[in-house]
Amino acid sequence: MPNDDKTSVDEHGQVRDRRGEWRSGRVVHLEPFLDFPLDVKRIVKTLFGFPGFFLPWFAIYMLVIGISYAFFTPELARMQTFDLAWIAEITARNLILLTIWNGAFHLWLYKYKMQGRKKKYNGKWMAKNNRIFLFNDQVYDNVFWSYSGALFWSAYECGLWWAYANGLLPYIDFETNPIWFVAAMLLVPFWRNFHFYWIHRLIHWQPLYDRVHYLHHKNVNVGPWSGMAMHPVEHILYFSCMLIHLVVPSHPLHMMFNGFQTGLGPAVSHSGFDEIVFNDEVALRNDRYMHYLHHKYHRVNYGEYNMPLDKWFGSFHDGSSEADAHFREVFKARVKARNNSVKTGA
Ligand SMILES: [Zn+2]
Ligand SMILES: [Zn+2]
């Protein structure tokens, strides 16, 4: 990590380092749910604050899955047999949803640049005429791979719907088991992040990184469509979090939430902006600096906010210059150890 001494002030009065990076000045805080001893006050604030656990994103997902379940999901009886018509309906629904969701972020932030570079971490826009991307264009590349991802998401969803329809999955509903129904809904984001952390560490294993995960990391400067720009093998691993419904009792709404958050969440976490600013007074905090730093430094922040796995396993970078200095030393020591082992033939 280079020393970022030389700074400049951009058109919004934000200080940028010599690479054009802007920092909010706030360090990354993980959510306190698994910090011991438990800090009840912080937990309550994280749950019910704004933005917090429930608002706005959890609530938005509930609305989206509710509408999709009620109006854009085939009848269960039809899904007892594999038939192209209902599979196409679910796939089309997910592709359209992804287009609207990612498209809204992209149009606001990148196409029409509604807030310019205000609160944008990276000083640059999406790459054009760059041969590392498909079609020499970062956005087209990212859109292509995101749609590929939506096909895998839909394949998992269709397979699970077929299994629900045939009574093959452990099933609960709100009438018979309201407590577990609600608890399972609240646990979905934690499960997703737990699963993501481990598959993410797996694909950072060099042989898999070189063949699979490199594709996602072509995006150092990220935008909403970069989130799901992954190699198909990564899509298969990434959406395999949905397979938990094979073993844990659930309702199709849990499965939909699991899939929708996995499919739509990356646009939020890769927006590249610390805040979505609507006008001078109204802004939605969207601080996703944690994952932005993963794209910048690769070997830090494999997980997300609601589980302190990075903290537990020593890969947590909070965005401060102290953390920069710490990881600079860690990486230097790693290179030295590797060179030594090559020299000694160990
Ligand atoms: Zn990413
Ligand atoms: Zn990665």
Nearest to 253 by CA among 108, 63, 119: 63
| Ligand with the closest atom to the CA of 205 | 2
pLDDT at 4: 52
Please tell me the distance between residue 222's alpha carbon and the centre of ligand 1 in angstroms: 8
- C-alpha 228 to ligand 2 mean position (Å): 12
In a domain, 346, yes or no: no
**Closest-lying ligand to the alpha carbon of 208?**
2
In angstroms, the Cα distances linking 203 to 181, 200, 237 are: 33, 5, 9
Say which ligand is closest to the CA of 212: 2
Paired tokens of 34: 């698994």
Within a domain: 2: no
Closest ligand to Cα 291:
1
pLDDT reported for residue 135 = 97
Range(s) of the domain holding residue 316:
7-321
CA of 201 to the centre of ligand 1 (A): 13
> For residues 258 and 102, what is the distance between their CA atoms, to the nearest angstrom?
18
Q: How many domains does the chain have?
A: 1
> Are the C-beta atoms of 272 and 122 separated by less than 8 Å?
yes
Nearest ligand (C-alpha, residue 213): 2
Assigned domain for 33 exists: yes
Distance 295 CA to ligand 1 centre (A): 6
* Ligand that lies nearest to the alpha carbon of residue 226, given by its number in the listed order: 1
pLDDT at 345: 65
Instruction: Determine the pLDDT at residue 5.
Output: 66
**How much is the pLDDT for 34?**
92
Q: How high is the pLDDT of residue 288?
A: 86
For position 74, what pLDDT does the model report?
98
Query: How much distance in Å is there from the Cα of 303 to the middle of ligand 2?
Result: 9
Residues 322 and 308: their CA atoms lie apart, in Å, by 19
Interacting residues of 117 by C-beta distance below 8 A, sequence separation 6+: 10, 11, 12, 14, 22, 123
How far is the C-alpha of 313 from the C-alpha of 208, rounded, in Å? 20
**For the CA of 300, the nearest ligand:** 2
Q: Rounded to an integer, what distance in angstroms lies between the CA atom of residue 251 and that of residue 174?
A: 8
- 292 CA from centroid of ligand 2 (Å): 10
Residue 331 lies in a domain: no
- Distance from the alpha carbon of residue 342 to the mean position of ligand 2, in angstroms: 26
Q: Are residues 140 and 134 in contact, defined by beta-carbon separation less than 8 angstroms?
A: yes
Q: Which two tokens stand for residue 299?
A: 């070997």
pLDDT at 287: 77
Identify the residue whose tokens are 């952390």: 197
Mean pLDDT of residues grouped by 10 in the chain (346 residues)?
A: 72 93 90 92 94 93 98 98 97 98 97 95 96 97 98 98 98 96 97 97 97 97 97 98 98 98 96 89 82 93 94 94 93 88 71
DSSP calls for 318-329? -SSHHHHHHHHH
Q: Which candidate, 270, 286, 287, 200, places its Cα nearest to that of 228? A: 270
SS3 assignment, position 223 = coil
Establish if 335 belongs to a structural domain: no
Residue 218 lies in a domain: yes
Whole-model pTM: value is 0.94
Residue 341 placed within a domain: no
- The ligand that comes nearest to the alpha carbon of residue 292 is 1
In this structure, are residues 240 and 199 in contact, taking their beta carbons and an 8 Å threshold? yes
User: In angstroms, what is the span from residue 228 Cα to ligand 1's centroid?
Assistant: 8
CA 270 to ligand 1 center in whole angstroms = 6
Displacement of CA 76 from its chain's centroid (Å): 30
- The alpha carbon of 157 and the centre of ligand 1 are apart by a number of angstroms equal to 23
DSSP assignment of 57-106: IIHHHHHHHHHHHHHSS--GGGGGS--HHHHHHHHHHHHHHHHHHHHHHH
340 assigned to some structural domain? no
Instruction: Give the number of the ligand closest to the Cα of residue 204.
Output: 2
